[in-house]
Amino acid sequence: MKYQPTIESLRTHVVPDWYHNAKLGIMITWGLYSVPAWAPYSELDIMEMVAREGFSANKKSPYVAWYLNSMQFKDSPTWKHHVETYGEHFPYDDFRKPFEEASAKMDPDAWAEFFQEAGARYVVFITKHHDGYLLWPSNYRHPFKTDYQSKRDFVGELTEAVRRKNMRMGLYYSGVWDWSFTHTPIDSVFSFVMNMRQSRQYVEYANNHIRELIDRYKPSILWNDIGYPAGTDVNELIAYYYNTVKDGVVNDRWSQIKVPNNSVALASMKAALELMEKEMQEQNLTMMEPRCHYDFRTPEYTSFKEILTEKWETVRGIGKSFEYNQIEDEKIILSSGELIRYFTDIVSKNGNLLIGVGPKADGTFSELHQKPLRELGAWLKVNGEAIFDTRPWKRAEGKTEQGMDVRFTKKAESLYATVLDIPRGKEISLKNLKAADDTEVFLLGHLSPLQWKQEGDSIKVTLPGSLWESATYSFKITPQPE
């Protein structure tokens, strides 16, 4: 099918089965900020911080990739750390040389092997974050900064390594923000919008990059961030992508905001944005409705109570930062049990999980980041049948008679009930399920069917003599009960 650059044509695009089936992706955020590898310690994620404090929370963002923004505020923890560590007159751009030296050790095959061991079906790599530094040798160079891009093609090398492991490759690009052009330090919703680049020169620069990434690497996911600059036809870019990558998907962060250039209109916009920020805090909004075409939504550090009809993908870091933060510890990093329960909950509600892990500047991953992901991968080797290639059931959440939470998924004629806790005793009762007489119940990882009986509106299952150590346990019930 030939897609046209119209919203009507783009809306005929169907989210391909591979994306519905994949469930788990890994986002890699790595760049100049990986040299300081520092952001203020926080037990809250950024969405919780913004809900409490508004956009002023960005002055002390837990995201390492926001180091350049945070260091602009002389009263911020990042500025204090920067001065104490590097000196008051050390500019951000001076991280280029140590990053380029350290990153020479990066091993894309080791990365891909790690991601596969974690159970990931796709990877999303940051090609350009908000600081503007490119991780591929683009033909479209920065107009003001000399060689503001890597000489080594990290994007291409990782793309090839990921595909050799039979995973899909996605590419992230910071569309409307590029702090290497101009940067208004962000501490309000107004400054958030004022950072949206829309000069003709920048529009051409960004458009050329997007087309180059499509043509050179043909990513299965085109993952834009924040928005896309006004003054370009974003529908034309997406149509070009669909016509080039037949089973590709795009996220929902392509909205365009026209920033006025006269003082009266700016004042009006500022007032409207401040009202919007207040409403966001009062209503604790997790997703704003995008004004663009998309295949899936991307709430950040968020899950939901109910099944969403449209496809969505929660994006979050393994800690409070997507990047490696040298001061994060076990209290901040998700344990394997927390990660497994979080992931299972998301999948039951029609979501995917894009989990962020950040390498150090030299391309190695900390043990704190590796451990929960490797343990997730081990769990998926036993329980992946209840996760991959499934769809939501008629409801996502349930309970056992013992009060343990249950999440449901379905595949073909089977229902999967994943208990988000360790069963206690010799039996477990799954509430509000009525099974047919010929039903078979299996505990994934065990070859023989389990004994069961119907007691009122619960299925009581006799557990096997021994259970392996796990955070959650998945039962397969065939045929699907009522």
Average pLDDT over all residues of the chain: 94
* pLDDT attached to residue 166: 98
pLDDT of residue 173: 98
Q: Residue 329 pLDDT > 80, yes or no?
A: yes
Q: What is the pLDDT of residues 64-116, one digit of tens each?
A: 999 999 999 999 999 999 999 999 999 999 999 999 999 999 999 999 999 99
How many C-beta neighbours within 10 Å does residue 412 have?
10
Q: Are 477 and 439 in contact (CB under 8 A)?
A: yes
Lowest mean pLDDT segment, chosen from 67-81, 234-248, 366-380, 457-471: 457-471
Our CA angle for 142, 234, 245, nearest 5°, is: 90
% the chain with pLDDT above 70: 97
According to the model, what pLDDT value does residue 264 have? 75
- 276-292: average pLDDT: 67
The pLDDT tens digits for 21-76 are 999 999 999 999 999 999 999 999 998 998 888 889 999 999 999 999 999 999 99
416, pLDDT greater than 90? yes
Q: State the maximum Cα–Cα separation within the chain, in Å, rounded to a whole number.
A: 76
For residue 54, the model assigns a pLDDT of: 86
pLDDT at 423 (0 to 100):
86
What pLDDT was estimated at residue 288? 66
Q: What is the pLDDT of residues 127-167, one digit of tens each?
A: 999 999 999 999 999 999 999 999 999 999 999 999 999 99
Per-residue exposure over 9-43, b if at least 16 CB sit within 10 Å of its own CB, e if not: bbeebeeeeebbebbbbbbbbbbbbbbbbbbbebe
How far, in Å, are 95, 153, 370, 382 from residue 360 at the CA level?
13, 18, 12, 31
Position 283 confidence tier, pLDDT thresholds 50, 70, 90: low
High-pLDDT (> 90) share of the chain, %: 86
* ω into 479 cis (within 30 of 0): yes
The reported pTM is 0.96
Which domains, ranges and CATH numbers included, belong to the chain?
7-386 (3.20.20.80), 392-478 (2.60.40.1180)
